[in-house]
Every structure is written in C-alpha cells, then in structure tokens.
Structure 1
Amino acid sequence: MNLGIRISLFLLVCGLSSTLAQSNITCESKSKTSCEECLANVSCLWCIKTESCLTYPYSTILPPNSLCPLKDARWGQCMINFQTLIITLSVFGAVIIIAFFICLFCCCKCENCGNSIQERKMQRKAEKKTSAQEQRRAEMMARHDEIRQKYGLSRGSAYAKFDNSA
C-alpha cells in the first residue's frame, strides 16, 4: 500500500484529519479542478461522477451514497476508489484475524504436545531409574550369593540347618 494511503488512513482513524479540515483553503473551493489538487488536502474527498471536491464527512465514517457513490469516491489517492479500499482492507483484516487464530491454535496445540513430550521424557527417566535399580539389586544379590557360597551358607531359610539335626 502506498505511504500516502497509510498516512491518510491513520489520520482518519485517529480523527486527526479533522484539524486539517480547518485550514484556510476549503475543499469546495477546489471543485472543478483535478483530483490531485483536491486530494492534496487530506480532509477532502474527490467525487469523479460530479467532478467535485467535498469535505470528508467524518461523522458518518463512510461518505453517504447521496454525497458520492463509493465506486466514484476517491480519498488519499486518485487511483483507488473507496469501494476497492474497503474490500482490500476488509480482506487484509480478515487475513490478520485468521492468522492470529491459527497461531493461537498452534500455540495451544504445541503446549499440549510439549506436555506429552515432557511426560514421555519423565516416563523414560523413570524406566531408566527402574532398570538401573533392578541391575544394582541383581549385582548386590550376586555378591551376596558369592559370600554365602564362600562361607557355606545356603540361600534357604536360616532355620534349615536346625531341621537336618534329627
């Protein structure tokens, strides 16, 4: 978009262009000239159909059809009519809103994915700890069995040697 259109739209939205309308040269005095001369003042609206320069009706936001049809109205730039400007800005706004919701959805989905990834990591850590603990327990039992064999002790109950005395 042209820088002039961006500045003009910014001024319209902010309401600052109403202060520009109070300049010494009124828009109506530039009627029957050219579109470029009329739109040199940001507060002016050029109507191609009537070839008139009008003060932009800020109270209605969009110029009424009785003043000038949207397809014939020019503001900010002579090449772009109001109808095209409104459609373009609407599509642009819709794309931004849709992109925002897609990003929001993706972020929420990724958070849930992140939680499941974290849960899987926690499960893997727990499995590693469990397997390491079982391995240590098996090594400890093997060492105990070696000691029992060395001293002639069986793995059975401690009372088994008393049962054989009869």
Structure 2
Amino acid sequence: MDVRSLAPVLLLLFAFTTVLAQTAAPGVACETKNGTSCEECLNNVTCLWCIKTKTCVSYPVRTILPPHSLCPLNDARWGLCWMNFQSLIITLAVLGGVIIIAFLICLFCCCKCENIGSSSFLAKMERQVNKSMNKQETRRAEMKQRHDDIRRKYGLNGPNPYSRFG
C-alpha cells in the first residue's frame, strides 16, 4: 500500500477513534484545565480547546460539530493543536471525496476491462465453433463422396430399390 493512500486512512481512523473514545481520564473534567495550554487540554480526547477564549471545554458529543456559541470552528482545536477544526473538516471531506472518486474510477476501469476480456473470449469461442463446423462439413462431404464411390462400384447408383415399399 502506498504511503500517500495510507495517510488519509490513518487520519480518518484517528478522527473516528477520538470521537468514539469518550472515556479517557475519568474524573478529570476539561473545565479544570482552563488557563493552561492547548497541549495540556488536548491530552484528554474529550476536550476541545478554544484559542479565542483560551478555555478548555468538554466536546459537545451530541452535536457532532461544536456550536458557534461555544467556539468558532476556525478557533476550535481538537486532537491537534496546530490544526483548527474547520481545516480538519475540510481536509477530511476532500480526502473522503478523493477516496470515493478513486474507488469509482477503479470500479469503472475494472468493469470495462472485464467486459473487454469477455468480448475477446466470446470472439475466440465463436472462431472455435466456426472452425469445428467447417471441419464437420468437410468430413460429411468426404463421407458422402466415399459412399457415392462405393455405390458406383457396386452399381447402386440408380433409384433406391426400397423406395417403392415406403
């Protein structure tokens, strides 16, 4: 697997695990870390750091995205201090879109290649059928010629003597 395709997967995996891991450091509330640094606040995955107010608040799990009244998205930090929440969302959306488009292109190319392969396979089978039919017709003609030669040799060329009984 290529490093470039592994990075978005790891980023998505990190984002989902931090959202789902809401029970880190039980008993330590995020609000107790107000006035500290961003790194200290984000040691707990349930915390959200707001640069504008320099406060550490519990991440609002029920609203997926933090409301603007709590902290604007471009000032909110979650998981990483150097990346704001708005950039994180945009990056994940773009990476997700690229992965979906790449998947659809691969799916389209594989289906198209499979159809090309099956059409060549069908053409090959048709050539084999035509070849065997030609061989069979040649054998039939040879057998008829042999039978006619035998009839001529023994004088049975005329009308079939048994045809008047039928």
- Does the alignment reach a TM-score above 0.5? yes
Residues 89 and 74 of structure 1: CA distance in aligned 2, closer, same or farther (over 3 Å) = same
Q: Is residue 20 of structure 1 aligned with residue 27 of structure 2?
A: no
Distance 1:76 1:124, change over 3 A: same
Distance 1:95 1:5, change over 3 A: closer
Give the counterpart letter for 2:142 in structure 1.
Answer: E
| Post-superposition offset of 1:9 | 3.0
Larger radius of gyration: 1
Q: Does 1:109 align with 2:120?
A: no
Match of 1:96 among 96, 99, 102: 99
TM-score, with length taken from structure 2: 0.75
Q: CA deviation at 1:31?
A: 1.4
Q: Distance in 1 between matches of 2:130 and 2:18?
A: 64
TM-fit CA distance, 1:114: 4.6
Aligned residues of 2:47 and 2:59 also touching (Cα < 8 A):
yes
Separation (CA, whole Å) in 2 of partners of 1:72 and 1:126: 72
3-state SS in 2 of match to 1:29: helix
Q: CA deviation at 1:5?
A: 7.8
Q: Please report how far the alpha carbon of residue 27 of structure 1 lies from its aligned counterpart in structure 2 after TM superposition.
A: 1.0
1:67: how far off? 1.2
Contact 1:57 1:63 in 2 (8 A): yes
Q: Structure 1 residue 62: deviation in Å?
A: 0.7
1:158 equivalent to 2:161? Answer: no
RMSD: 2.9
Return closer, same or farther for 1:61/1:93 CA change in 2, 3 Å cut-off: same
Q: Report the identity percentage.
A: 57
C-alpha contact 1:5 1:76 (8 A) present in aligned 2: no
In the TM superposition, what are the counterparts of 1:1-166 in structure 2 within 5 Å? Answer: 1=7, 6-12=13-19, 14=20, 16-17=21-22, 19-20=23-24, 23-144=26-147, 146-147=149-150, 151=153, 158-159=158-159
Which deviations, in whole Å up to 9, do the C-alpha atoms of 1:100-147 show, x marking residues without a partner? 333343444345445433432331121011111122123324434554
Unaligned runs of 5+ in 2: 1-6, 160-166
Report the TM-score, using the length of structure 1 for normalisation.
Answer: 0.75
For this pair of structures, how many residues does the alignment match? 152
- Show CA shifts across 1:54-93 (max 9, x none): 1111111111112111111111111111111101110111
In the alignment, the residues of structure 1 paired with residue 58 and residue 140 of structure 2 have an alpha-carbon distance, to the nearest angstrom, of 91
